[in-house]
A and B are shown apart, each in its own frame.
Chain A
Amino acid sequence: MSAAMDTESTYSGYSHYSGHSKKAHRQGSRDRHKSPRSKDGSRSEKSVTIQTPPAEPLLGNDASRAEEGQDDNWGETTTAITGTSEHSISQEDIARISKDLEDSVGLDCKRYLGLTVAAVLGLLVFLTPIAFILLPQILWRDDLEPCGTVCEGLFISVAFKLLILLIGTWALFFRQPKADIPRVFVFRALLLVLIFLFVFSYWLFYGVRILDSKDTNYQGIVQYAVSLVDALLFIHYLAIVLLELRQLQPMFTVKVVRSTDGESRYYSLGHLSIQRAALVVLENYYKDFTVYNPALLTASKSRAAKHMAGLKVYNVDGPGNNASGQSRAMIAAAARRRDSSHNELYYEEADHERRVKKRRARLVVAVEEAFTHIKRLQAEDQQKAPGEMMDPREAAQAIFPSMARALQKYLRTTRQQQYHSMESILQHLSFCITNNMTPKAFLERYLNPGPTLQYDRDRWFSKQWTLVSEEAVTSGLQDGIVFVLKCLDFSLVVNVKKIPFIKLSEEFIDPKSHKFVLRLQSETSV
């Protein structure tokens, strides 16, 4: 784990529940302290921090470094994320600034820096036309030519255009940032630069031609301000097209595979940069993939270990430590070895299925029976029997004991017991009772593992993600790109494929051309 990740204070994936689950296969160096920050609804809970590791060579890390030592060409041959795109200059500067800030102050400042820059620029831009119109009035009012209805018409149009611009900017840009991303958004940065240059050049012209020479043609000045506002509206249109519309049309299909159990999904994306695509994938991950359950993974590892166990390599030909040859020999021997582990797997799985089905049947019956004890009181009945009335929570507590044991056994068998506490079950039960749900609707949450969003936040294993990519993270998606979203326990491997160019041709069928014949094979006796 890199030092930078330890200094971060916003993410809190390691909470107290980890004590319940099996720790056998986890990495050693994880913090297990309670982090109370995760519980108060601070903004950090909503943010998904995607952070690239600091500039180390990526692929060179595990395999090559150990054996070859420090290769002289490691700078060229390893792939690292260092923003090597055409827009690299300003980005690297910003990135360096942001990394320095990050190391010293914390991640929040990077986000706020971007926001403040944009806000200041926006305010400046908004006030500029007003300043253009007001400055002559303030500075040399007496010299100005009188300008009657034309100017007033222009004032009204400036006012309304500014209002529209304000509403449009509010709608488009004023959003709560939902994620921290490693690099700046290229298009946003470009737009900010464009706006800045544009306004700067207008001010320059204004300052030289109008302020210095004290131009008296007030109508011309007002029209100049109107032209500025028009151009700003067009830049706003450009912003909509670049930031929003361009990525709507699907161009790529990405396949996301979870590394631990192979669960995979496909998504359609448009023209996005890799980091934005990663964001989209992660947003969908929380809703589509079933929750990561480490308890389900231990069986396959023990099977594999048993298969290779008991094989030892003896080197008969003499001294010499041919490590790779030995391991290859072991693999070959293990493959040829005739053991019955496949048999064990088959019977174990069949057994498990039967057990799960039996427990499930018992659970369904118990819940159905429990639900029959509850009856909703109508409004007029409520006055008749005031003594026995219960609110949903009490009703839930009343019927819970009859199904508790069956539910607990079922959860144990399917290894979901750490995801559901008694409190959460009671809450869900009272929720279902309030909304007139059937037993099956109540059970839907427990019978199948749901997506990660369904569970409490402190059951989520992963909120801090790292984007590992061979291409620059701000470059656009291309066909064949593979990047990996790593969190501590598992990773999501994302494979990008381009949607093929479809050749569609037409064929006209005359409705009258649908004619048929009977095909017979009759047999006649003579």
Chain B
Amino acid sequence: MSETHLRFLPVITIYFISFSFQQRIEIHKLRQGDNLILGFSIGGGIDQDPTQNPFSEDKTDKGIYVTRVTEGGPAEVAGLQIGDKIMQVNGWDMTMVTHDQARKRLTKRNEEVVRLLVTRQSLQKAVQQSMMS
């Protein structure tokens, strides 16, 4: 019984990694003067050119990616990293939005906390490597 479990374990973890390795990040906005800032920059969108995105693995991916994270900002504190792809913001889907829509969803004036669902390539690969060894 234990042997069959062990045999199926790598398969199950592979499924988890390839389909749903995602991280939930909660960012508390920082008030600077009149604005609430999050401390990162985004790129991408369905109206943008996906081939120029340096962070995406698939160059037809039109999702929203994190292109810069300011040091010491709320995003960095919360654990957001450069190159992350933002899948959801507060429950709103971000995989099929224009660049401007994405910006609006992140910068709503009445929200102080944004909960992001991000996926990250580097972490996927690290887990895969540790599983193989």
Contacts and interface: CB of A to CB of B under 8 A. Distances in A.
Q: Do A and B bind each other?
A: yes
Interface of A: 519-526
- List the 6 closest pairs (A to B, CB-CB), nearest first: A519-B49, A521-B52, A525-B41, A526-B106, A523-B43, A526-B38
Contact of A522 (B68, B99, B106, B107): B99
Contacts of B47: 520
A523 B102 CA distance: 11
Contacts of A525: 37, 40-42, 68, 70
A522 B45 CA distance: 9
B48 interface: yes
Nearest to B104: A526
A521 B106 CA distance: 18
Interface residues of B, number: 19
Given A526-B37, A526-B103, A526-B107, A521 B53 contact: yes
B43 A526 contact: no
Contact of A523 (B38, B68, B70): B68
Interface string B29-71: 0000000011011111001110011000000000000011010
A521 B40 contact: no
B42 A526 contact: yes
A526 B65 CA distance: 12
Nearest to B67: A523
Nearest to B40: A526
Contacts of B107: 526
A347 B29 CA distance: 71
A524 B41 contact: yes
A97 B67 CA distance: 93
A377 B49 CA distance: 72
A417 B88 CA distance: 85
A526 B116 CA distance: 13
A1 B70 CA distance: 91
13 contacts: A519-B49, A519-B52, A520-B99, A522-B48, A522-B99, A523-B43, A524-B43, A524-B99, A525-B37, A525-B68, A526-B41, A526-B42, A526-B103
A524 B42 contact: yes
A523 B52 CA distance: 12
A521 B38 contact: no
A520 B103 contact: no
A523 B41 contact: yes
Contact of A520 (B38, B42, B49, B70): B49
A473 B43 CA distance: 74
A522 B102 CA distance: 12
Contacts of A519: 48-49, 52
Contacts of B106: 526
B2 to A, nearest CB: 50
Contact of A521 (B43, B68, B70): B43
A523 B53 contact: no
B42 A523 contact: yes
Given A525-B68, A526-B103, A526-B106, A520 B40 contact: no
A165 B5 CA distance: 107
- Find the residue from A520, A522, A523, A526 having the highest chain B CB count within 10 A: A526
A522 B70 CA distance: 17
A521 B42 contact: no
Contacts of B43: 521-524
B103 to A, nearest CB: 5
Contacts of B53: 521
